Chains A and B, each alone.
Chain A
Amino acid sequence: MLKPEILDPQGRAVQGALGRLGLSGVTDVRQGKQFVIDIDGELDDARRAKLEELASELLSNPVIEDYRMSVVADDEAGA
């Protein structure tokens, strides 16, 4: 997600559209990205650390974006 202090013109445009389409009271909209990464095998500490590293180096730009990572176990995924 873009950091709160960074202008998000797309979020703002969506906010306007929601209002025009009849949803009142929308105070803010932020637009971000979601990466769904399927991994074979176990997510051990080493791999987790690598993923964190890549999350902050490749998947997000720490200058302007924050990220949050959550792991969904195999049996919960794929609904």
Chain B
Amino acid sequence: MSARIGIVSFPGSLDDADAARAVRIAGGEPVALWHGDDDLKKVDAVVLPGGFSYGDYLRCGAIARFAPVMTKVVEAANGGMPVLGICNGFQILCETHLLPGALTRNDHLHFICRDQKLRIENTLSDWTRDFAPGQEIVIPLKNGEGGYVADEATLDRLEAEGRVIARYLDVNPNGSYRDIAGICNERGNVVGLMPHPEHAVEDLTGPSTDGVFFFASALTSLLSGARR
């Protein structure tokens, strides 16, 4: 029996089908969750996928954050359920304040799609425990509003508490402070990641299969009961 991982679709979500594929490849069972239902269908973990929910109108993720399903997601996250926000999902997590900081327009003002090298710096979170500490991976990045920002105090705290889970290597593609590509909450169950692991799950279509480990990590967390 495999773990059930819910993938929320908002109007404008784009990478939901890809997240489902990634979950399947990792060995989990993807479950489609609709933004308008406040029902998590008894899933064991949740993914907020990439895309342009509500067209990125107002601010990225600002409207999605108030969707009925999000009340349940926030509740579950506070109860320890693993939640992964990818790109737009990361933006939504920051808007709900499950994660600190915010994502802003890329400093060079262009949308950028590139194969991005990352270093995984925290392998204790629910979504990164299958990596080796300091492991370098390459997964696609594609965003126009991916610059992670937070005040100095918050940034220092994130670093001190080891909550920067991934950092950009070689090239900082969007002006994120401290080259931060992803962070987690204190408990380690909520992770926000700007690049797209779901696009690095098949050699045929991605730059590597490094992305599978994010999803496999969640399954490891759930199935081994190694919870925090």
Contact = CB atoms under 8 A, between A and B. Distances in A.
A, B: real partners: yes
Contacts of B107: 7, 9
B80 interface: no
Interface string A41-79: 000000000000000001101011000000000000000
Contacts, number: 35
A38 interface: no
B20 to A, nearest CB: 29
A66 to B, nearest CB: 13
B104 A7 contact: yes
Nearest to B60: A61
Q: Which of A2, A9, A10, A59: most chain B CB closer than 10 A?
A: A9
A41 to B, nearest CB: 24
Contacts of B59: 61
Interface string B83-104: 0000000000011000011101
Contacts of A61: 59, 62, 95, 102
A10 B107 CA distance: 8
Contacts of B58: 58-59
Interface residues of A, number: 12
B102 A9 contact: no
B106 interface: yes
Interface residues of B, number: 21
Contacts of B109: 9-10, 13
Contacts of B175: 7, 9
A64 B66 contact: no
Contact of A63 (B101, B106, B108): B101
B147 to A, nearest CB: 7
A13 B66 CA distance: 32
A6 interface: yes
Contact of A6 (B62, B63, B104): B104
Contacts of A5: 151
A10 B102 contact: no
A63 B62 contact: no
Given A6-B149, A7-B149, A7-B175, A63 B94 contact: yes
Q: Which of A5, A13, A58, A59: most chain B CB closer than 10 A?
A: A58
Interface in B35-84: 58-59, 62-63, 66
Contact of B66 (A2, A10, A58, A63): A58
4 nearest CB pairs, A to B: A63-B102, A64-B102, A9-B107, A9-B109
Interface of A: 2, 5-7, 9-10, 13, 58-59, 61, 63-64
18 contacts: A7-B104, A7-B107, A7-B147, A7-B175, A9-B105, A9-B106, A9-B107, A9-B108, A9-B109, A9-B175, A10-B109, A58-B66, A59-B58, A61-B59, A63-B94, A63-B150, A64-B102, A64-B149
